[in-house]
Amino acid sequence: MSVSHSSRLNKGVRDQYMKLPQAGMVQVTYVWIDGTGEGVRCKTKTLDYEPKSIEETNLRHTCRRIMDMVADQHPWFGMEQEYTLLGINGHPFGWPENGFPGPQGPYYCGVGADKVYGRNIMECHYKACFYAGIKICGTNAEVMPSQWEFQVGPCEGIDMGDHLWMARFILHRVCEDFGVVATLDPKPMTGNWNGAGCHTNYSTENMRKEGGLKHIEDAIEKLGKRHNYHICVYDPQGGKDNSRRLTGQHATSSIHEFSAGVANRGASICIPRQVGQEGFGYFEDRRPAANCDPYVVTEALARTTLLNETGSETKYYAN
């Protein structure tokens, strides 16, 4: 387990400087999605006021347009961000230097130093998200050791992408303080180890009301006719990254087939058991990869289920 040199610095010294008065100035950190569509970068400038606006990347801009078009349906999203902690040598954090931990089984939602690695990081990230106003709603240790998940939502429309991207930035920043790296690679370890996804839970006002199951089923039918398009936009490599993860094993569906079911973790789309029983609520698209762009994923769901797009092409809607 190799951690970075900076993690060994005496962090107590930093507090002395951080306690200095701010002198009426505001340090504004700009965060943006880089050219890979996957990484985040930041830089800081001094302002003498607190700005309110969010800069628009292109992908946010198109997502916003689609969300504006479907605003009357009040689409809600909740995303389950899985990630894996790595040492700076690229090896999973806490794993034996040469070799592997015992097989999967005891780690999911585990407790104990032999079951979960890096809980401090998860806890600090959770708190930092609260402080930043991110709608984080839960967390758990994952099936593969040193893999974790946090959930953000429910968020309406464009808020989903905004909140998840910021939660990711904070994750990378917290990990930096601890000297480890969070990867969103959808399959960081080959073999009998679970991959990392970003399950996307989705509902409209109609689905959340009595009789909503009918609307959920209608949406799933539309999604079933557009499987390839969704796979293409559910990771930054047009489906290539996700093909390592969506094997039909390790609680995933096959990338080649569309499937849906109640309480079925091996399906593309899962209707939660409770939703099936109550007859309304939301459904879960289990296909998006951990490194998906939430603007793109939520936009695709809205296009297919609310704008009734079909086929592989997305329409350009004039203003």
Residues engaged in binding ligand ADP (CB under 6 A): 76-80, 137-138, 151, 153-154, 199, 201-203, 208, 281-282, 284
Name which of 194 and 203 has its Cβ closer to ligand ADP: 203
Verify binding: residue 235, Mn ion, rule CB under 5 A. Answer: no
Nearest residue to ligand ADP on Cβ basis? 78
User: Which CB atom, from 95 or from 148, has the smaller least distance to ligand ADP?
Assistant: 148
Task: Give the CB-nearest residue to Mn ion.
Answer: 199
Q: Which residue lies nearer to Mn ion by CB, 199 or 226?
A: 199
Q: What is the closest distance, in whole angstroms, from the C-beta atom of residue 84 to ligand ADP in the complex?
A: 17
**199 binds Mn ion per the rule CB under 5 A:** yes
| Closest CB 272 distance from ligand ADP, rounded Å | 7
Shortest distance in whole angstroms from residue 151 CB to Mn ion? 6
Among residues 149, 185, 235, 309, the one that binds Mn ion under rule CB under 5 A: 149
Picked from ligand ADP, Mn ion, none, the partner binding residue 81 (CB below 5 to 8 A depending on kind) is: none
Which of ligand ADP, Mn ion, none has residue 75 at its interface (CB below 5 to 8 Å by kind)?
none
Q: Which stretch binds Mn ion (CB under 5 A): 36-44, 149-157, 176-184, 254-262?
A: 149-157
Selection from ligand ADP, Mn ion, none that 137 binds (CB < 5 to 8 A by kind) is ligand ADP
Nearer to ligand ADP, 201 or 304 (CB): 201
Q: Which is nearer to ligand ADP, 78 or 92 (CB)?
A: 78
Neighbours of 66 (CB within 10 A): 25
Q: Which of 63, 64, 80, 185: binder of Mn ion (CB under 5 A)?
A: 80
Taking Cα atoms as reference points, which of 176, 153, 166, 200 lies closest to residue 40? Answer: 166
CA 166-168-173 angle, to 5 degrees, is: 95
285 near Mn ion, judged by CB under 5 A = no
Max intra-chain CA distance, the chain:
59
Query: Minimal distance in Å, beta carbon 135 to Mn ion?
Result: 15
CA distances from 23 to 47, 49, 97, 166 (A): 11, 12, 47, 27
Q: Footprint of Mn ion on this chain (CB under 5 A)?
A: 80, 149, 199
